[in-house]
Amino acid sequence: MRRAYKFLLRPTSRQAGALAACLEDHRQLYNAALEHRRTAYRKAGVTVRYGDQSAELKHIRADDSDVQGRWSFSSQQATLRRLDKAFRAFFDRVKAGRKPGFPRFKGRGWFDTVTWPKDGDGCRWDSQPEHPTATFVRLQGIGHIRVHRHRPVKGRVKTIAVKREGRRWFVVLSCDEVPAEPLPTTGAVAGVDMGVASLITTSDGAHVPNPRHLAAAADRLADAQRDLARKKRGSVRRCKAAARVAALHAKVRRQRADHAHKTTNALVRDYDVIVHENLLITNMTRSASGTIEQPGRNVTAKSGLNRSILDAGWGVFLRVLAHKAESAGRELIAVDPRNTSRTCAACGHCAPGNRATQAEFRCRACGHTAHADVNAAINILRAGLALRDAAEAA
């Protein structure tokens, strides 16, 4: 398996300045490469690709040895590949008929990651193994940086990235050949219905509440954002106010991830087979504002629902669940969510009126009553087991 490990860096003041300079120089390289592509196509109709810009990189480093020449060649190639990936995604969206979103120039604060594609090429993990109590990572042009390694690293380190989050620096390791850690079998299966009132409801009738971390921090965020709006652009006080807003959002993000890890740990520990809805969260949270010619309806209510869905963190939950299920040797099945909340788990009758309220399910055909989310979770489980049986029969 391939896994990522994220650790806090503890750079000295000199190293922190060098890390910031490294990010800034890679940002300028990204923007220059983007301008090169735009200008070549606009003036000469020529398409510039990654191979062309990578071949020119050695000349750029030779001409600007004091700035671009001090960093790793491989990390600069990774930055050019990042731009190339943005263009490929742009053309894929054009072909699919979606909103194109042409690649944009990265301003300060919008470029926070530098990647080294190979351990040992401009970077080295655990660069001082003889040190008895600390772990270091060496980065070309910066030196040996102390790492707060709070857990062991398993597998083979493949790539190393440095990321800035607010005033903190992190190192992210991507490792191959990470061994699985299978859990003992339990023989239990479960369907999982995801919602806003309860984060998840299982077919066994268990409810995991939605902590609503963003809603809990809404007042503090509103105060911090009002304070930010009053500050003059470019001032030191505005930078401090922006840092406070970012710190509040970061705390919410960490709380949401922590809750997802704890909830998914319990699921993979208790069940061998877990069935969940294949939710298209991007489509579900799309704005209902519409256009000037055709304005949307219930825009305020829809925006509130979108905020609640995003605050629940369904995407984070499903991603963490997939990783933990793979590592634990559990089977994860995604099913089509259509009509799972309208179908009676007792007789199979499907009608919009079966769901009397958000929490109550009452079948119009047989009179079966149940909690609406539990009824949906049972339908999800049956659909997943049917898919599993069909796959095994084929």
Largest CA distance in the chain: 80
CB-based contacts of 313, cutoff 8 Å, min separation 6: 256, 257, 259, 260
Residue 196 vs residues 6, 184, 272: alpha-carbon distances, Å:
29, 32, 25
What is the spatial distance between Cα 388 and Cα 277, in angstroms, rounded to a whole number?
A: 15
Cβ pair 282, 240 in contact under 8 A: no
Q: What is the dihedral of CA 209, 210, 211, 212, to 10 degrees?
A: -160
Considering the candidates 277, 311, 331, 389, report the single residue annotated as catalytic.
Answer: 277
Considering the candidates 84, 119, 193, 311, report the single residue annotated as catalytic.
Answer: 193
Bridge partners (DSSP) of residue 123 are 139
- Annotated active-site residue 193? The verdict is yes
What is the spatial distance between Cα 261 and Cα 275, in angstroms, rounded to a whole number?
A: 18
Please report, for the chain, how many H helices and E strands are present, in that order. Answer: 10, 14
User: What DSSP letter does each residue of 81-128 carry, written as one string?
Assistant: HHHHHHHHHHHHHHHHTS---------TTS--EEEESSTTSSEEETS-
Phi, psi of 321 (to 5 degrees): -60, -40
What is the spatial distance between Cα 285 and Cα 302, in angstroms, rounded to a whole number?
A: 8
Strand 143-148 and strand 135-139: the pairing is antiparallel
- Annotated active-site residue 373? The verdict is yes
Considering the candidates 84, 119, 272, 373, report the single residue annotated as catalytic.
Answer: 373
Q: Indicate which residues carry an active-site annotation.
A: 193, 277, 373
